[in-house]
Chain A
């Protein structure tokens, strides 16, 4: 009996520490840049939730869009109410895979391309995101990525009577430090 239990603990111990390659974050940063000819502004959030599994080469990220701030309260409210419709579609999500590569040693980084599904405003599309993964040490991983989102692809209307000139093309930058589970 004792033996079995001990064995079990050893197994658990081994598998999580040696084989487990899951990294998590709850405070990654997301920035979108709207660059229209007359008006450029950014929205930011530090609530990016993410999972990177280096065994399965799997990525999963999401953000609660209510946490995005552009620096002007009324613009945030209009963004939530009229464009992103966060009541109905609170999250932006990405789930995808990266190509297999050699195992990273401490301090090493690798350029990767993630292929997967990006979903916002209730519309899901296949996208490819180029990025960079760096292994800081055994327990931390850093990830950076940048990609473009065309609002029209996700049925987000640009206002006709505009005050904040909104760009059709939004550049999204993601940066996160993930901790080993």
Chain B
């Protein structure tokens, strides 16, 4: 009995101490975050949950042109003048960034911030990425010809707020739902908006369907919840080229600013689509290795 036990123990021991031929492969981080739910901090016109990394600057130029219905005569809307928005967004850390944008239409300046609350992980412990965006803007157009009716600074302000909840469902498919609101202190008819309400509520949907390693089909749909304005619809393609992300799309609105996106109205999908084009670029600042 004793002897048997001892032999067993010795054998076990021989096995255990008989050196391990290979280490067990273990992931360094069990809750590895999911990468690139979207290609860039913007998808068509909407913000995404994609962060701007610490100490990097994200620069985006967005354009939308005239409606397609003029045909080749107007080079499918390119002759009709573009609305252009520049934006710079700086990442203070991996969760918080501040940005500024300027839309040519109504010379809108916007200050905005994004905060990333939750990040989707590969093991699905966290199934969603959730971010918040808040923006405050001012219309800086010259309305001096209106004399007394020239709106003052406060009357020119507007605000936007949205919550973005996104999930990368598979290697190919990512979806985002963004409840959004915009508030105009004074929706003056002289502003280039269609709505006359102060408050606009909408639900933004963004989709990404990856077709190759570095390109995706994108979708955007923004039904208005409390106005009679048409809903925004967009279809596009994202192309990744190293540090740039190019986004080309057809969309029903010329608005690029977040408040204007909800209040400026939309054309009928189809002939009144407009061509749009964004360039996204990141710059690393601080110490380079």
Give the distance in Å from the alpha carbon of A47 to the alpha carbon of B27 in the complex. Answer: 10
Contact of A71 among B13, B35, B284 (CB under 8 A): B284
CB distance from A147 to the nearest CB of B (A): 19
Question: A72 with B20: in contact, given A66-B29, A80-B35 (CB under 8 Å)?
Answer: no
One of A14-22, A106-114, A123-131, A136-144 at the interface: A14-22
One of B198-206, B219-227, B236-244, B259-267 at the interface: B236-244
Residues of A within 8 A of B27 (CB): 64, 66, 90
CB distance from A132 to the nearest CB of B (A): 21
Q: Does A73 contact B (CB under 8 A)?
A: yes
Q: Does B9 contact A (CB under 8 A)?
A: yes
Question: A22 with B56: in contact, given A1-B2, A8-B10, A12-B13 (CB under 8 Å)?
Answer: no
Question: A93 with B25: in contact, given A51-B20, A78-B240 (CB under 8 Å)?
Answer: yes
Q: Does B53 contact A (CB under 8 A)?
A: yes
Residues of A within 8 A of B20 (CB): 22, 51
Q: Which residue of B lies closest to A12 (CB)?
A: B13
Residues of B within 8 A of A42 (CB): 289
> Would you call A163 and B21 a contact (CB within 8 A)?
no
> Would you call A163 and B288 a contact (CB within 8 A)?
no
Q: Which residue of B lies closest to A163 (CB)?
A: B242
Contact of A49 among B10, B23, B213, B242 (CB under 8 A): B23
Q: B226-255: contact bitstring with A at CB < 8 Å (1 yes, 0 no)?
A: 000000000000001111100000000000
Number of A-B contacts (CB under 8 A): 96
Q: B31-55: contact bitstring with A at CB < 8 Å (1 yes, 0 no)?
A: 0100110000000000000000110
> Would you call B240 and A64 a contact (CB within 8 A)?
no
Q: A59-103: contact bitstring with B at CB < 8 Å (1 yes, 0 no)?
A: 010101011001111110110111000010011010100000000
Give the distance in Å from the alpha carbon of A75 to the alpha carbon of B94 in the complex. Answer: 15
> Would you call B23 and A71 a contact (CB within 8 A)?
no
Q: Does A104 contact B (CB under 8 A)?
A: no
Residues of A within 8 A of B241 (CB): 159, 161-163
CB distance from A122 to the nearest CB of B (A): 14
Residues of B within 8 A of A22 (CB): 19-20
Q: Does B214 contact A (CB under 8 A)?
A: yes
Q: Give the interface of B toward A (CB within 8 A).
A: 2, 6, 9-10, 13, 17, 19-23, 25-29, 32, 35-36, 53-54, 56, 94, 122, 171, 213-214, 240-244, 282, 284, 287-289
> Which 10 pairs show the lowest CB-CB distances between chains A and B?
A163-B242, A73-B53, A64-B28, A71-B289, A161-B241, A163-B243, A77-B35, A72-B284, A67-B28, A47-B28
